[in-house]
Amino acid sequence: MISDFEDTGYSLRSKIYHRLKNAILDGVYKPGESLIEMKLAKELGVSRTPIREAIRQLELEGLVSSIPNKGVIVEGVTPQDVEDIYQIRGMIEGLAARWAAEKITDEQLKELKEVLDLMEFYTEKGNVEKLSELDSRFHDIIFKASKSRPLESVLTNFHHFIQRARLVSVKASGRAKYSLQEHRRIYEALEARDPDAAEKAVIDHIGSARTNLSPYLEKHEV
């Protein structure tokens, strides 16, 4: 309802856009499913105008398509999208880690260590949803530490698209334990301010996550 869209500094259209986008990326709205403006407006307690504007933005991003005589259809994130994004991530996140190793502050290293400690705690608890959230926080700190606004912007957008795949990957049997070890190696390289080691640790981590997703991509379950 409208109470879900309290004033947080964003326009109503922006709030609805992020609500719908997250629902698509989280698999609430699945590929091939129709998005009906009137139904969404009723569910969210708003007029059709902000719904229409949000859908237009989603269409620009390729998450939905307007098809004649069928309406708005969810495209979602396809297995090929995930494949492409992981390859691109390996290149640009490796660069972000290299730059971060050269520029990271003591305060940012402290933040990373705190996130790493929480990762260890929730790995033992088996809380995959919390681990997915912490994984995103860990990488966000590295993006900021790279001190490159363009790079941070690109990577943040990629992580929005990869969130569904990330959650599936962490849920896979045994993955959380290995992911924790990989994050620890990334932290150690950054703490040592070793650009080569940091870049390699991040590339290895992303490659491992991608390999872990193979059976899910083959079944089109992302």
Q: Are residues 101 and 166 in the same domain?
A: yes
Q: 76, 59, 79, 78: which is closest to 17 by C-alpha?
A: 59
What's the rounded Cα separation, in Å, for the pair 206 and 218?
A: 18
Q: Where residue 14 sits, what CATH number does that domain have? A: 1.10.10.10
Is 108 a residue whose pLDDT tops 90?
Answer: yes
Amino acid, single-letter form, for residue 140: D
Domain residue limits at 13? 2-74
What's the rounded Cα separation, in Å, for the pair 13 and 162?
A: 23
- The pairing of strands 64-67 and 34-35 is unpaired
Q: Are residues 67 and 153 in the same domain?
A: no
pLDDT per residue over 150-194, tens digit each? 998 888 777 666 666 665 566 665 788 899 999 999 999 999 999
Boundary (domain end) residue, out of 74, 92, 127: 74
Query: Could you tell me the pTM of the whole model?
Result: 0.72
Tokens matching residue 75: 């495209």
Domains contained in the chain, number: 2
pLDDT per residue over 14-52, tens digit each? 889 888 988 887 778 888 899 999 999 999 999 999 999
